[in-house]
Amino acid sequence: MRSMKNNLSLLQLVDSAFPTGAFAHSFGLETAFKENKLSGPKELYEWLQDYIRGSLIPTEGIAVFVSYQTIQKEIEINALPETVQEDLQRLDQKLTFSKKASESRDGTVKIGKRYLKIVHTLYPEAGLDQYAGWINERLCYGNPAIVHGWISAYLDIPCDQAIFTHLYTNVNNLLQSALRMAVIGQTDAQLILQRLYPLMDEEAEQIVHSSPGEKDLCNYAIVQETEAMRHETLYSRLFMS
């Protein structure tokens, strides 16, 4: 019963209606659309595939794993050792500045803070008030990947599922953005998501298998990062980033 209850809790966290404010951000996708690089499902699928491999996996995917493993090792979540606190704070800082575009950095922080606030309200005993305290003390910024890894460990969700669902949420949010821009239709969005499942599942398993650390964080989605940088200069915009 505990496993079923925890899985239902995870479903709530990754539901598209979960109010993190992610719907307001496109992370370079809108630029690609306005510059006529996305004309339909094929181009969007390829864009998302590159974004997953070059940005999401080597940054946030690894961060979910590291934060998950860190919290899982601590029996008393409400009393993290100082060294563990410093490790998580440093992970947050590296994640924040892995976003080269200022809009993307600000957008991720906004989503992270919102996700943290709601999850802490739902699970006050999970110890996430410590993370909120570090943000208030300006020791870190706030990142949804760390929040997701933390709460997944607390809920005893398998690590590969924690990583996969974080990837899924990010990709689904971008697909919703593409729908608002009329790049694709509803059915196309579902077909693209279905095609991307094996990639996200494989990458999640690979992260768990390779057991990466904070030093393995990197970002080589150059095209998407450049598009995110150019977003603020667009003539008109639907999204904040």
Stretches in the chain below the pLDDT threshold 70? 1-5, 75-78
| CA pair distance 1, 4, nearest whole angstrom | 5
231: number of Cβ within 10 Å: 26
**In this structure, are residues 240 and 25 in contact, taking their beta carbons and an 8 Å threshold?**
yes
Position 8 scores a pLDDT of 79
Mind giving me the DSSP string for 74-142?
Answer: -S-GGG--HHHHHHHHHHHHHHHHT--SHHHHHHHHHHHHHHHHHHHHH-GGGSTHHHHHHHHTTS---
Position 1 scores a pLDDT of 45
Query: Would you state the structure tokens that stand for residue 98, as one six-digit string?
Result: 């892995």
**CA-closest candidate to residue 130, choices 72, 80, 74:** 80
231 Cβ partners below 8 Å, 6+ apart? 26, 28, 30, 31, 101, 103, 237, 239, 241
Q: Domains in the chain and their CATH numbers?
A: 39-224 (1.10.4190.10)
Position 5 scores a pLDDT of 58
pTM for the structure as a whole: 0.93
Cβ-count burial 26-48 (b if 16+ within 10 Å, e if not): bbbbbbbbbeeebeebebbbebb
